[in-house]
Chain A
Amino acid sequence: MKGLARAFHSHRLALRLALLVLLLILPFILKESWVSLANEMLIMALAGCALNIMLGYTGMVSFGPAGLYAVGAYATAILLTRYHSSFIIALIGAPILAGIAGVIVGWFCVRRSATYFALLTLAFSQIIWTIIFEWYDFTGGDNGIVSIPIPEFFFTISHCYYFTLAVVGACVLLLWTIIQSPFGKTLQAIRENPGRTEFIAIPLKRYQLAAFVLSSVFLGVAGSLYCVFSGSVFPDYAHWVKSTDMLVICLLGGFYNFTGPIVGSVVYILLSKIIAKQTMFWMFFLGAIIVFLVLFMRNGIVGFLADKFSPVTDPAPGSGKDGGGR
């Protein structure tokens, strides 16, 4: 195992390049349905990474990320259908509106911690769901909004895929930069010991709110991407079951590692599709997997692997740490 670990580390750069190449040539080597699946995986990966800012890095357990995700999706949908705005505006509007929603929701939720915080996020996301569901005139109610006028360019699956890849790639890079910054370190300190951070002159609630808003913005981008991808939006985008999907993705991949949600997204969506093809009771197996995860693999896949593959001593800080860990 150690030999494998060392090989993995010394060829990190090569492996990453290989992955990049693979992602770029994907549409040429896979069938369209698989490319579409990959598209979905990328979007959920972004949603997972966004949620993980709060969850894994700041230690704030939210039960309601889907609410902000749906705000992004509906923002793009409504801007395109109702206000006939340009595509760019519709795209940019999503994270902005999701961010604003994040400020409002976050301000209330952050006033409490742990269980109460989680319940507040749940309540707010259900309010968002209810508003979307009931406000028929504006949001189409439970019919959702379909046939959204996205540019014809995106009707081709591979075009859509590359677009998603570009946006998700840029966002993930941005998130990675933020995590590596002093701000990111401060968030992690908050996760480790929120009370202590006030003793080092950090206004705790303000930073927690910032993490919440940051999460919301990128969740909004993910929602917007899905709107473009599927051409329609539905109230269920805001439902707490969707939130749970996102939480499971983070847990499955491992929320103490940056790449965790990405791995989690790939595995989760893959598993769901594969199992769904085999049996109509696929949710049973999903439930069983989830239970297994919580009981036996709490650090997720990447966490599990990181334990096995981590170097004998921790690398010294500032010496260029392995990209997948911390």
Chain B
Amino acid sequence: MILETQNLVKSFGGLTAVYDVNLRIQEGELASIIGPNGAGKTTLFNLLTGHLPLDSGRVIFQGRDITGLPPHTISRMGIGRSFQRLNIFPRLSTFDNVQVAVFSAQRQSRNLFSRASKLARRETEAILDSVGLLDKKGVKGGLLAHGDQKRLEMGIALAVEPTLLLLDEPTQGMSPRESAEITRLIQKLVKEKGLTLIFVEHDMNVVFGISDNIKVLHQGRIIFEGKPEEVKNNEEVQRIYLGEEKDAWSSR
């Protein structure tokens, strides 16, 4: 078991964002978390990566208790993440965006004297190639099209060599064709690099298409989890979604 959380709780003022969340993720699993907006999904990710302090509970990664560790340490230990709202380095070139992350992975970030342009080129280009951005390596990150920026996001996350990858709405804002492409990309990368994946998604095509395991989050609690078929047929889950994404649901 690569990731386990025990009774995670997080509140903001009077609002409970996450309550008594217990996750058990196996290595190599493709798990997804779904739930209406405001269910607490991004908060949960922030708790896992150390960006928000827990009120109570524990997070155990690869057998080690990582509760309370600083974010950069957790990142170094192998939990990577991509973001719902784009989170790249806009004025750096696409190449530089990824290269900076590769430097970090290679522990080269402290190197003051070598010329950056001569280092890590192969690795950086390999990652750019795997997310399909090699031909755009000279373009400034902020100038890329939305879909390409999402790919860049993923490239940056991959460059730090994670074993567990948290993807926050990877297909957000994409056309169906783009979504399908990204989904294929995700599957390919997961297989190539042997990653474990937890992703948050609203696009049910993607969720039911590739998940091994789905957890339904509602008002901070996991109210149901299971295989795609089980989730599809569960009445409570249907009820929660009926108001929100009736179309997405009924087209299944």
A binding-site residues for B, Cβ under 8 Å: 177-178, 180-186, 188-189, 192-193, 195-204, 207, 256, 313-319, 321
Contacts and interface: CB of A to CB of B under 8 A. Distances in A.
A177 B115 CA distance: 7
Nearest to A313: B138
Contact of A182 (B89, B93, B97, B109): B109
Given A193-B89, A196-B88, A200-B100, A178 B112 contact: yes
A321 B93 CA distance: 13
A203 to B, nearest CB: 5
A200 B159 contact: yes
Contact of A317 (B103, B138, B160): B138
B90 to A, nearest CB: 6
A319 B101 CA distance: 20
Given A198-B70, A199-B81, A317-B93, 4 more contacts: A182-B114, A189-B89, A192-B90, A318-B117
Contact of A185 (B72, B99, B137): B99
A185 B71 contact: no
Contacts, number: 124
A183 B112 contact: yes
Contacts of B89: 188-189, 192-193, 196
B117 A202 contact: no
B81 A315 contact: no
A165 B100 CA distance: 34
Given A196-B89, A200-B159, A317-B93, A185 B138 contact: no
Contacts of A319: 117
B113 interface: yes
Q: How large is the interface on B (under 10, 10 to 19, 20 to 34, 35 or more residues)?
A: 35 or more
Given A199-B75, A314-B139, A182 B111 contact: yes
A54 to B, nearest CB: 16
Contact of B96 (A202, A204, A315, A317): A317
Given A178-B112, A317-B93, A193 B81 contact: no
Contact of B87 (A178, A180, A181, A193): A193
A20 B158 CA distance: 44
A200 B111 contact: no
A198 B75 contact: yes
B227 interface: no
Contacts of B160: 199-201
B202 interface: no
A198 B104 contact: no
Given A185-B99, A189-B100, A317-B93, A199 B49 contact: yes
A267 B155 CA distance: 42
A190 to B, nearest CB: 9
- Give the 4 A-B CB pairs with smallest separation, nearest first: A192-B89, A318-B117, A201-B76, A201-B75
B99 A316 contact: no
Nearest to B142: A192
Nearest to A184: B116
